[in-house]
Homo-oligomer: A and B are copies of this chain.
Amino acid sequence: MKIAVLGTGMVGDAIGSRLIELGHEVAMGSRTNNNEKAMAFVAKHNGKATARTFADAAAFGEIIFNCTHGVASLEVLKTAGEQNLNGKILIDVANPLDFSKGMPPSLAIANTNSLGEEIQQAFPQAKVVKALNTMWCGLMVNPGMINGGDHHTFISGNDANAKETVKAILMSFGWAAKNIMDLGDISAARGTEMYLPLWLRIWGATNNGAFNIKIVS
């Protein structure tokens, strides 16, 4: 498929690289069409990706991954253009971490709202699915790296068909169906985003970001 990855940081790189490996056509979106990291990404993948502006990447993509910094996501998506998002699945991987007040970061949006909901509200015709935002990016695209792949990831969103498509993409990344938990509508993004402070504390206590949670019962 034609997939846009907005954001050229570690998360965008990990997801974009995995998508190319799986045979998708990837457009890396950033503020300019000659962004240094995006150009390096294209070079690394022997031209199997393109570097585009946010708007051009979003126009190209049948599916769009939001891998931008959470505090910048709404502005980036406005730059990408509502007409380029409408009717499309928008997979929101971002967390609204606010580092401006020191460490550990707080959340710029939380408790009675979430970034996932704000994006859905700003772009009502996009099919926003919150996913993968509860772990280090290496595990997002390669869950088998730990515990034989037996740990959990969450999806939430208002469109059932969009969630089915996202589930299929996650399974292509290596996630077992039983480990993909549908938490309901997009307001469940509050839950997965508010997990980040605990994630950061566990990381701090263990000095190892390559961990995830497994739900046991």
Contacts and interface: CB of A to CB of B under 8 A. Distances in A.
Interface of A: 101, 106-107, 110-112, 146-147, 150-151, 154, 156, 181-184, 188, 190-192, 194-195, 197-202, 204-206, 208, 210-217
Contact of A191 (B200, B208, B217): B200
A145 to B, nearest CB: 9
Nearest to A196: B194
A198 B192 contact: yes
Nearest to A139: B217
Contact of A213 (B150, B156, B194, B213): B213
Contacts of A217: 146-147, 206, 208, 210-212
A191 B194 CA distance: 8
B205 A216 contact: no
Given A111-B111, A150-B216, A214-B214, A181 B202 contact: yes
The count of identical subunits is 2
Contacts of A182: 205
A108 to B, nearest CB: 9
29 contacts: A101-B112, A106-B111, A106-B112, A110-B110, A111-B111, A146-B216, A147-B216, A150-B216, A154-B198, A181-B202, A181-B206, A182-B205, A183-B201, A184-B204, A184-B205, A191-B198, A191-B202, A192-B198, A192-B201, A194-B194, A194-B198, A202-B215, A206-B217, A208-B217, A211-B217, A212-B216, A213-B214, A214-B214, A214-B216
Contacts of A202: 181, 183, 191, 215
Contacts of A190: 197
Contacts of A208: 217
A216 B151 contact: yes
A202 B205 CA distance: 24
Given A101-B112, A184-B201, 19 more contacts: A110-B111, A146-B216, A150-B216, A154-B198, A181-B202, A181-B205, A183-B201, A184-B205, A191-B197, A191-B202, A192-B201, A194-B197, A194-B198, A195-B195, A208-B217, A210-B217, A211-B216, A212-B217, A214-B216
